[in-house]
Amino acid sequence: MKINFSQIYEGWKNNLFPAADMKEYIQQVGKERMSICEECEFISTKHESVRPDVHCTDCGCTLAAKTKCLSCACPLNKWKAVVSSQEEEEQLKKEVHGK
């Protein structure tokens, strides 16, 4: 599996420091996705795990971040991305470079 570091960054950024104008939307998307994950057979809470976080046992992602990554999709096709990776990368460049 290819690791997409920009999506990992996006998920954690949106979880810990969401943009003020996107905060409600990110929370709504995250809540809807988490409710889907809670019903999934691959959620860590339904299995024994040494990891303390709630994660997907299929892809290994921490769900607190993954569900708030707007350019991420569930690898099991349980939920889709709401923006493209390219749109998210453009937003990240604006934030980093101020352009």
Question: What is the per-residue pLDDT across 57-71, written as a single tens digit (0 to 9) for each?
Answer: 999 999 999 999 999
Residue in this structure with the two tokens 């980093």, named with its chain if needed: 96
Predicted pLDDT of residue 84: 79
Q: Which helix (H) or strand (E) holds 85?
A: helix 85-97
pTM score of the predicted model: 0.83
Tens of pLDDT, residue by residue, the chain (99 residues): 567 888 889 999 999 999 888 899 999 999 999 999 999 999 999 999 999 999 999 999 999 999 999 999 999 999 999 987 777 667 666 666 665
Structure tokens at 69: 């990554």
Predicted pLDDT of residue 42: 97
Q: Which domain holds residue 93?
A: 5-97
Mark 56-85 as b/e (b = at least 16 C-beta within 10 Å): beeeebbbbbbbbbbbbbbeeeebeebeeb
β-strand partners of 43: 56
Angle between helices 85-97 and 5-16 (to 10 degrees): 70
Overall domain count for the chain? 1
